[in-house]
Amino acid sequence: MMRYRENPYQTKIEYFQSGIWPWLILGGLLLAALFIALIVAALLLPPLSLLSRLDPSYTAVDLGGNTLRDSDGMQMTFLPEDVDRPFRVKITSVPRNLFLEGAVADNLLNAASSIPAHLVMKSPFYQIQRRGAAPKRVTLAVPIPNEAEPYRTLDLYSWNGEGWVWLPSRVIPAEGIIESHLDYLPDSVVVMQTHALNPNVAATYLPEQVLPDNYRDATLEINPQGLYLEAEGLIAGTPPILSSDLLNGAFVIMPTLRNWSDDGSVRADLIDNLLIDDTARQRHVATIVGLIQQNAYGGVELDYRGIAADLRPEFTTFLEELRAALPAGKRLVVRVELPHQLSGDTWDSGAYDWQAIGRLADVVKVPTLADPKAYAQDGQMAAMLDWAVGQVSRYKLQLVFSTRSLEQLTDQPPRELGYQEALAALGTVAVGGGATTAGPNQPLELTLSGLPAGAKVQFDVDSGLYSFAFPPDAAGQRVIYLENAASVARKLQFVAQYNLRGVAVQNLFDADSDPQIRDVIRRFLDLALSPVEGQHALVWHVKNQEGGLIDEQIVDLTSPTFQWTTPAAAGTYQIIASISPNRNPAEAMPLGTISVVVNAP
């Protein structure tokens, strides 16, 4: 019988088999559990976030779009063309009192405590959460809260995790909503009532102008003139030399770059060519940055007019490039042109994308309307500002106006006039009927030679403007609008009414303007804004042969005639007409003199 030889490793193999298999089995189970955990994690964590996708509180938005409505009435609309890929979205409304008391999630505690002092929360905090792809656009309709008047100063804001961000919007009182069209979906939205900040005043400056004494301690933005856009992106002109008062005062100096001349001619070709030429545009950006750095300016103001409407994207691109190139802390100020009103609340801004400009610029300057009728209650000026504060944050908007008067001729663009030239159109002293010889105790009517029969001097309460309307002739109708303290005060009221940033005043330091205007602007800086009545008056003086004053009458400028009865004593009498901005004879500007001879009886 054959005997098998015992394997000397048999015991070790049996020991190995009996000891390792449990560990192999346990390791396999652990690997399987780990694999399953990884699969579960992949399903639960972003980007899949399966639980969130299955959360019934989220609403699906597919390629057909959708509209969501919160229980408080807040509504979000996604049109089909705004959705490239499906996603899910959720609105959570946090009551205002709970939000302000801090009864919110930890990630929102900082939001409640960070509301600026000039904003007052009026609505719930509408939190918006999204799962999946981002939409291209969204329309928000937020209910106007109760006790939120005045509606014109309501804004929408969003908390982005770091700060409160203004949202473009439109208040629609008839529908009880504030509507916002956005090219992104914000994380939240809140209705805020706004309050005024200390007003800002910008003023143009020419080398020959003198800073008034009561402005030496004022905080102003000074815009030196004299720099012009040149071909190939270059800048023509020389920065004006600033006086020591300006260099040593509390002023922010920002020169104006423009493509138009004082005579009103606009070089639209220069800006249009710049916008379509990448090399010229880059050169212009570099030249602007160099100008600011070499002269230690606080920034730059761009006043480019007549841009072709189809170059709207190119102008925005130029501003984006300039904004990116400006050194930190330097301001970008952009003056836009007046938009064209298409309907009651719809305006066409041409080449100027106000929303884009508002995001890029620190200040957006908006011209005021010239037509006095625009200043009527709820008139065109109010309609334009209702639209404007929905395009650009009201705290960036400055109204632009000039201290100079305007002459309007039929079918002609308006022409600026100095104060004295505008008043000179009234003429000098004239006697009704033309006779300068009269008997004693004879009634005479004295008037102004520039006001023939049919001419009218009127004061418009809504705009604060005086108008001198002359009879039509072969050239058409001629009207002069006299800019004065009352009309300037009326424009300043819009700043207070809409809580705007302030005003930009052209020719503020020009000596040839109503002297009361600078006082009104100075009081505005001191937060002492109040309505100003039209107080322009004609001051009539009658002097005898010895120069003694024998008669004085002060009449409103709208009733410029002087009814005078000649004295009983024979002699030559001087009738002097002067115009005063405040009915004060001591501050009157002479218009002319005429001699009247009174014959002996």
**Strand pairing category for 331-335 and 299-303:** parallel
Same structural domain for residues 43 and 102? Answer: no
* 393, pLDDT greater than 80: yes
CA-CA distance, 159 to 110, in Å (whole number)? 10
* 372, pLDDT greater than 80: yes
CA-CA distance, 477 to 130, in Å (whole number)? 62
Query: Long-range contacts made by residues 174-181, C-beta under 8 angstroms, separation at least 24?
Result: 176/143, 176/144, 177/141, 177/142, 177/143, 177/144, 178/141, 178/142, 178/143, 178/144, 178/154, 179/139, 179/140, 179/141, 179/142, 180/139, 180/140, 180/142, 180/156, 181/137, 181/138, 181/139
- Is residue 469 included in any domain, yes or no? no
pLDDT tens digits, one per residue of 234-280? 999 988 888 888 888 889 999 999 999 988 899 999 999 999 999 99
Same structural domain for residues 48 and 166? Answer: no
pLDDT of residue 418: 94
Last residue of a domain, one of 36, 54, 72: 54
**Strand pairing category for 562-565 and 75-78:** unpaired
- Residue 23: pLDDT band by 50, 70, 90 thresholds? low
Higher pLDDT, 324 or 212: 324
Q: What is the 3-state secondary structure (H, E, C) of 424-469?
A: HCCCCEEECCCCCEECCCCEEEEEECCCCCCCEEEECCCCCCEEEE
- Is residue 479 included in any domain, yes or no? no
Last residue of a domain, one of 5, 38, 54: 54
Q: Let me know how long the chain is.
A: 601
CATH (domain of 571): 2.60.40.1930
Share of the chain above pLDDT 70, in %: 93
Q: Are 368 and 490 in contact (CB under 8 A)?
A: no
Same structural domain for residues 358 and 209? Answer: yes
Same structural domain for residues 164 and 48? Answer: no
For residue 560, whether the previous peptide bond is cis, meaning omega lies within 30 degrees of 0, is no
Same structural domain for residues 225 and 343? Answer: yes
Number of structural domains in the chain: 4
Find all residues with CB under 8 Å of 404, minimum gap 6, and list them: 416, 417, 418, 419, 483, 506, 507, 510, 512, 513
CA-CA distance, 273 to 265, in Å (whole number)? 17
- Residue 1: pLDDT band by 50, 70, 90 thresholds? very low
Same structural domain for residues 163 and 206? Answer: no
pLDDT of residue 225: 95
Comparing 18-22, 429-433, 517-521, 549-553, the range with the smallest average pLDDT is 18-22
Burial class (CB in 10 A: 0-12, 13-18, 19+), 283: middle
Same structural domain for residues 216 and 153? Answer: no
- Is residue 13 included in any domain, yes or no? no
CB neighbours (10 Å) of residue 129? Answer: 16
Same structural domain for residues 344 and 375? Answer: yes
Closest CA to 70 of 137, 122, 129: 129
- Is residue 539 included in any domain, yes or no? yes
Mean pLDDT over all residues of the chain? 91
Structure-block tokens of residue 380: 């065109």
- Is residue 473 included in any domain, yes or no? no
Amino acid at 42: A
* 71, pLDDT greater than 80: yes
* 414, pLDDT greater than 50: yes
Closest CA to 489 of 458, 461, 509: 461
Same structural domain for residues 397 and 302? Answer: yes
Average pLDDT score over residue span 418-436: 93
| C-alpha 543: how far from chain center | 52
CATH (domain of 190): 2.60.220.30
Amino acid at 143: P
Same structural domain for residues 180 and 43? Answer: no
Which helix (H) or strand (E) segment holds residue 591: the answer is strand 589-598
pLDDT tens digits, one per residue of 239-251? 888 888 888 888 9
pLDDT tens digits, one per residue of 305-349? 999 999 999 999 999 999 999 999 999 999 999 999 999 889 999
CATH (domain of 268): 3.20.20.80
* 42, pLDDT greater than 70: no
- Is residue 6 included in any domain, yes or no? no
Same structural domain for residues 383 and 518? Answer: yes
Helix, strand, or coil (residue 519)? helix
* 165, pLDDT greater than 70: yes
- Is residue 124 included in any domain, yes or no? yes
- Is residue 480 included in any domain, yes or no? no
pLDDT tens digits, one per residue of 108-154? 889 999 999 999 999 999 999 999 999 999 999 999 999 999 999 99
pLDDT of residue 253: 95
Same structural domain for residues 74 and 215? Answer: no
Give residue 39's domain range. 22-54
Phi/psi for 72 (5° steps) reads -85, -5
Q: Is 65 left (phi over 0), alpha (psi -120 to 50) or beta?
A: left
Last residue of a domain, one of 160, 176, 194: 194
Q: Are 396 and 362 in contact (CB under 8 A)?
A: yes
